[in-house]
Chains A and B, each alone.
Chain A
Amino acid sequence: MALVQIAAAGPVIPNYAAQSSSCEVHNRFFCGEWVSRNWGPVLWPALREHVLLAVVAVAIGFAISMVLALAAHRYAWLERPTILVTTILYTIPALALFELLAAPVGLNVYSAEIALVSYTLLILVRNILAGLRAVPAEVLDAAEGAGMSRRQTLVRVELPLALPAIIAGLRIAIVTIIALATIVYVVYDRGLGVPIHTALGEGPFKTELIVAGGLAIGLALVADGLLVLVQRLLTPWTRARAG
């Protein structure tokens, strides 16, 4: 299904007969010329789409997870079922989940995003809960004794102190989703999976594989690094040590 739609997008596959360098014809390791020729039409859009897919998925997943985690934090009996459901979603292999969603939802962005969001839930819910629970009991006692309401304690004390764990969860989530999004093309032809798939179809064509794959990996590492920086900015107290 995906193959048909790709072919319609334009001549991505190098035509060995005409206007290809010898590098491409011999399918060498890396052909700079092919990359510069196809950056604009193929690689850059795929990268952009990939970023969008991943960021939207993690953002929505974070919002849902925060609601679930705060509910489970407040009402302890909710924890078990929440973890159970999110674990099941996480356990279903990506390929299967995409197809299972495609049946009711269709071959579109929604199937892709619903699946990707499902994978973030377990990671984020667990980390948010762990972070909230790691707040020392005496700090909570002091907050209550100072006259803070439940909500004030949550917003001013518990959530800030849970930030390191929350950001750790976001790091894992974004890296996982960026990697998973390479499979999205089976139901929605966007993202870096598209050029990888085409490259597999013809050859396999090494340059395209390496570049698209490298972009996916690089993207994940950059996202991870950015979140580390964010954490340093938002939690200055974690680096303070007895002076």
Chain B
Amino acid sequence: MHEFIEAFRFIAHNGAVSGYPELPSLTHLALETLKVGAIGVAISVVLAVPLGVWLGHLHRGSFIAINVGNIGRALPSLVVLAIGDAFLGLGLTVVEVALVILAVPPIVTNAYLAVDGVDRDLVDAAKGMGMSELEILTRVELPLAVPLLFAGIRTAALFVISTTTIAALAGFSGSLGDVIANETSYHFSGVLGAAICVAVLALAVDGALTLVQRTITPRGLREVKLEQSPALAAEAAAT
């Protein structure tokens, strides 16, 4: 276990390695990872949520919506990045494109399932009350869709952080993955230290998103147990 002690020492020194003063600090790399990841998630959300929600509201395109999730899951991050590297060269843009390609599918699938899965009786009742399509969407479907939708965003955020670190394996510098991919400079203690940081970072991001989800979820839905909510069962299926 002495490697772990070395790793924590590495973290305590903010990633400084003797003999290599120009190497970026851990905090810098962590922030870079977050930055790259945030951009990727933001773009993906903007692209995928409206599409998924719209398809779900119309109850159409289920085949596409669900299978895009399956196919997205089948794409290894490394392969997407490597192909980007091979054909276009690995700059920030290419990495962001790769992140979006990987993050959009779970968001679309979950958005679709979340809105499509809203109890039709409720939508019917809303229509009977005289709500317009838009009002039904914003006042009935979206609030009920929040849990499942957010599950999709959380999954996407995980993929994004994971892929950002993997990008270092493909030669992209600017994330904590740099350290992990560069054992010659950082030694195994450094690699381990960076790995710990990545793990903590991912857990923190997931925790933060969960908190946001809790805050946005309408109070009446918060304590729904798995067996009472087919949506949550679908969430289990759509992880």
Q: Do chains A and B touch in the complex (CB under 8 A)?
A: yes
Q: Smallest distance from the beta carbon of A2 to chain B beta carbons, Å?
A: 9
Contact check, B203 vs A88: say whether CB atoms are below 8 A apart: yes
A209 to B76, CA, bound (A): 12
Interface string of A180-214 (1 = CB under 8 A from B): 10110010000001001101100111100110110
What does DSSP make chain B's interface, helix, strand, loop or mixed? helix
Interface residues on A, range: 35 or more
Chain B's closest residue to A83 (CB) is B226
Contact check, A200 vs B85: say whether CB atoms are below 8 A apart: yes
Contact check, B203 vs A1: say whether CB atoms are below 8 A apart: no
A92 to B194, CA, bound (A): 12
Contact check, B162 vs A130: say whether CB atoms are below 8 A apart: no
Contact check, A180 vs B76: say whether CB atoms are below 8 A apart: yes
Contact check, B183 vs A1: say whether CB atoms are below 8 A apart: yes
Q: Which residues of B contact A130 (CB under 8 A)?
A: 226, 232-233, 236-237
Interface string of A126-143 (1 = CB under 8 A from B): 110110011000000000
Determine whether B180 belongs to the interface, using a CB cutoff of 8 Å to chain A: yes
Determine whether A123 belongs to the interface, using a CB cutoff of 8 Å to chain B: yes
Determine whether A9 belongs to the interface, using a CB cutoff of 8 Å to chain B: no
Contact check, B82 vs A199: say whether CB atoms are below 8 A apart: yes
Number of interface residues of B (CB under 8 A): 49
Chain A's closest residue to B161 (CB) is A93
Q: Contacts A99-B192, A126-B239; is A172 near B199 (CB within 8 Å)? A: no
Q: Contacts A95-B195, A183-B166, A197-B169; is A206 near B87 (CB within 8 Å)? A: yes
Q: Which residues of A contact B129 (CB under 8 A)?
A: none
Contact check, B161 vs A186: say whether CB atoms are below 8 A apart: no
Chain B's closest residue to A219 (CB) is B74
Q: Smallest distance from the beta carbon of A190 to chain B beta carbons, Å?
A: 15
Chain A's closest residue to B1 (CB) is A104
A171 to B239, CA, bound (A): 11
Contact check, B74 vs A179: say whether CB atoms are below 8 A apart: yes
Contact check, A168 vs B237: say whether CB atoms are below 8 A apart: yes
Q: Which residues of A contact B136 (CB under 8 A)?
A: none
Contact check, A178 vs B233: say whether CB atoms are below 8 A apart: no
Partner of A96, one of B73, B74, B198, B206: B198
Q: Contacts A94-B162, A103-B192; is A217 near B79 (CB within 8 Å)? A: yes
Q: Which residues of B contact A205 (CB under 8 A)?
A: 86
Contact check, A134 vs B227: say whether CB atoms are below 8 A apart: yes
What does DSSP make chain A's interface, helix, strand, loop or mixed? helix
Contact check, B202 vs A216: say whether CB atoms are below 8 A apart: no
Q: Smallest distance from the beta carbon of B36 to chain A beta carbons, Å?
A: 13
Contact check, B86 vs A126: say whether CB atoms are below 8 A apart: no
Contact check, A91 vs B74: say whether CB atoms are below 8 A apart: no
Q: Contacts A100-B196, A213-B76; is A95 near B236 (CB within 8 Å)? A: no
Partner of B73, one of A87, A99, A176, A199: A176
Contact check, A224 vs B202: say whether CB atoms are below 8 A apart: no
Contact check, B73 vs A172: say whether CB atoms are below 8 A apart: yes
Determine whether B142 belongs to the interface, using a CB cutoff of 8 Å to chain A: no
Determine whether A221 belongs to the interface, using a CB cutoff of 8 Å to chain B: yes
Q: Smallest distance from the beta carbon of B238 to chain A beta carbons, Å?
A: 8
Interface string of B187-231 (1 = CB under 8 A from A): 010011011101100110010000000000000000000110010
Determine whether A112 belongs to the interface, using a CB cutoff of 8 Å to chain B: no
Determine whether A61 belongs to the interface, using a CB cutoff of 8 Å to chain B: no
Q: Contacts A1-B183, A99-B191, A123-B239; is A91 near B202 (CB within 8 Å)? A: yes
Determine whether B94 belongs to the interface, using a CB cutoff of 8 Å to chain A: no
B contacts, CB < 8 Å to A: 1, 3-4, 7, 70-71, 73-79, 82-83, 85-87, 158, 161-162, 165-166, 169-171, 177, 180, 183, 188, 191-192, 194-196, 198-199, 202-203, 206, 226-227, 230, 232-233, 235-237, 239
Q: List 23 A-B contacts (CB under 8 A).
A: A92-B199, A92-B203, A93-B202, A96-B195, A97-B195, A103-B188, A103-B192, A104-B1, A126-B239, A134-B230, A175-B73, A180-B76, A183-B78, A183-B166, A183-B169, A196-B82, A204-B86, A209-B86, A210-B83, A212-B79, A213-B82, A216-B79, A217-B76
Listed from nearest, the 4 A-B pairs whose CB atoms lie closest are A213-B79, A220-B74, A133-B227, A93-B162
